[in-house]
Amino acid sequence: MARPTPPAGDASGPAPHPLFPLPAGRTLDICTELHTAILEHRLAPGMKLSEDEVGEIYGASRTVVRAALQALAHSGLVTIEKNRGAFVAKPTIREAHEVFQARALIEPPVARMAAQAMTESHLAGLKAHLDAEHAALHAGDMGRALALSGTFHTAIAEIADQQVLTAMVRSLISRSSLIIALYWKRADTACESHSHHALMKAFQARDGKAAEEVQKSHIVDLHSGLNLRAQEEAPTSLATALKR
């Protein structure tokens, strides 16, 4: 079984959020575990997610694993090929563009709404979020820091108190994490912190217009930080191993 294996049972750590609205029972747990594992880049794009393997790791039957994988497939984090199984999704360059275009369309108005709905309690929550991100970065836990920088955007949508848009943002954020894993070209991951602090200032001032503009330029900046030139296609397993 010399094959890329899912993470060991150490997948602990508090889940960022209850996730999507559908599954019942233990399906949700597995869904959450896989979700956070993907967001923290512990599961690389393209990895096979065997039903038996995942089930054995989490002590669950294939039935519930299947439901979890189908849920993740629906949110774009997993690709299911008929009779071949589930894989961690590998967004194409085109999809990467589309995801960030959609984010540039949706998130700035959401930030404006959030600024208008912002309370002191909300501000404290966001502040704690940034602190946690900073702490993770300082502790060298890159994956966790990246996941937190993503959920910061989700938190904004939740403050805007728009459940429908929040679900969309959450999905786009998750897919962005995969896209960054594949196409990020800058070495500096801390550049995001800067924009997030700028957003905080706009929120503290309850300046919706400023929040909208900062968010817009932040997302455009993220988009431009990707290397989305057409490149070699899918030498995932063999060439990668033989590269050195």
Contacts to DNA by CB under 7 A: 1, 3, 24-27, 48-53, 60-64, 66-67, 80, 82-86
Radius of gyration in angstroms for the set of CA atoms belonging to the chain, rounded to a whole number:
18
**Contact stretch for a second copy (CB under 8 A) within 10-18, 93-101, 144-152, 210-218:** 93-101
Q: Alpha-carbon distance 68 to 22, whole Å?
A: 10
| Alpha helical stretches, state H, the chain | 26-39, 51-58, 62-74, 93-117, 120-138, 142-159, 163-183, 191-204, 208-224, 238-241
Beta-carbon contacts of residue 200 (< 8 Å; ≥ 6 apart): 123, 126, 127, 130
CB of 60 to a second copy, least distance (A): 16
Taking the complex as a whole, the smallest distance from the CB of residue 89 to DNA amounts, in Å, to 15
- Minimum CB–partner distance for residue 2 and a second copy (Å): 27
Instruction: Please calculate the CA angle 170-172-175 and round it to the nearest 5 degrees.
Output: 110
Alpha carbon distance, N-terminus to C-terminus of the chain: 23
The answer to whether 162 contacts a second copy (rule: CB under 8 A) is: yes
- As beta bridge partners, residue 49 has 86
Taking the complex as a whole, the smallest distance from the CB of residue 50 to DNA amounts, in Å, to 4
Residues 179-218 as x/- pattern, contact with a second copy by CB under 8 A? ----------------------------------------
Q: Rounded to whole angstroms, what are the CA distances from 27 to 9, 13, 22, 82, 83?
A: 16, 18, 9, 21, 21
Work out what residue 51 binds among a second copy, DNA, none; the CB cut-off runs from 5 to 8 Å by kind: DNA
Q: Select 141 or 213, whichever has its Cβ closest to a second copy.
A: 213
11 binds a second copy (CB under 8 A): no
CA–CA gap between residue 137 and residue 67 (Å, rounded) = 34
Smaller CB distance to DNA: residue 48 or 97? 48
User: 48 or 134, CB closer to DNA?
Assistant: 48
Q: Is there binding between residue 101 and a second copy (CB under 8 A)?
A: yes
* C-alpha to C-alpha distance for 70 and 20, rounded to whole angstroms: 12
State the Cα–Cα distance between residues 148 and 134, nearest whole angstrom: 9
Please say whether the beta carbons of 218 and 199 come within 8 A. yes
The reply to whether 75 sits near a second copy by the rule CB under 8 A is yes
* Position 67 contacts a second copy (CB under 8 A): yes
Q: Which does 207 bind (CB under 5 to 8 A by kind): a second copy, DNA, none?
A: none
Binding-site ranges for a second copy (CB under 8 A): 20-25, 66-67, 70-71, 73-76, 80, 82-83, 94-95, 98-99, 101-102, 105-106, 109, 162-165, 168, 172
